[in-house]
Structure 1
Amino acid sequence: MANQHSAAEEKKHHKHEGPKKHIIAFIFSILLTVIAFAMVAAGEINTTFIYFMLVLMAILQVFVQMGFWMHMKDRGHVFPIVGILSGVVIVFTIVIMAEYWAWW
């Protein structure tokens, strides 16, 4: 009887999303990729603007991938998120320090 109760509680906390959100996320990912390719292929746009937009779309793509495909938006993913953010901070620190060292 206790096992049935805990299984029912577990089902309450884990809700299946269904394919609708995954299809929307997939279409959004494809759209971001097509826009990036189209901007670069156009060639007549300011390169600074293209770089800025590519970085912005890459950041959006990371959030879509992490949120929908790796399920980082769900509860119980605190440690992976902390690990990923720590890695990002370390990489940015290394890049900034390498640039500073090269310009010294």
Structure 2
Amino acid sequence: MARERAEIVASLVTKGFDLQKKGRDHDFYFFRHPDLTQAVFTKVSRGTEYQTIGDQLLAKMSRQLKLTRAQFDQLVDCPMRKPEYVGVLASQGVLRKPKPQS
């Protein structure tokens, strides 16, 4: 099922993604967290033909964000909040484990 670009972007921003414009055709949204071991980001076309994003691109965005397509929908629709997303990334080893304080 296709989704509106504005809806996706608004959700990403509320979940801790920062916009970084690169190039003239795409915006990049990077997830910010101090314990990331690798960059987690997705790119969104600014083209007028991409006001609505189709299933094929949504699947790519899901993979870029280390999510299944169902999890991506939850992230956009808001049942998955930032703490839950951080938990998904931690379970995949994308976040460093905090060192125990002595």
Q: Which has the higher strand share?
A: 2
Question: So what's the TM-score if we normalise by structure 1?
Answer: 0.25
Higher relative contact order (CA 8 A, sep 6+): 2
Q: Which has the higher helix share?
A: 1
Question: So what's the TM-score if we normalise by structure 2?
Answer: 0.26
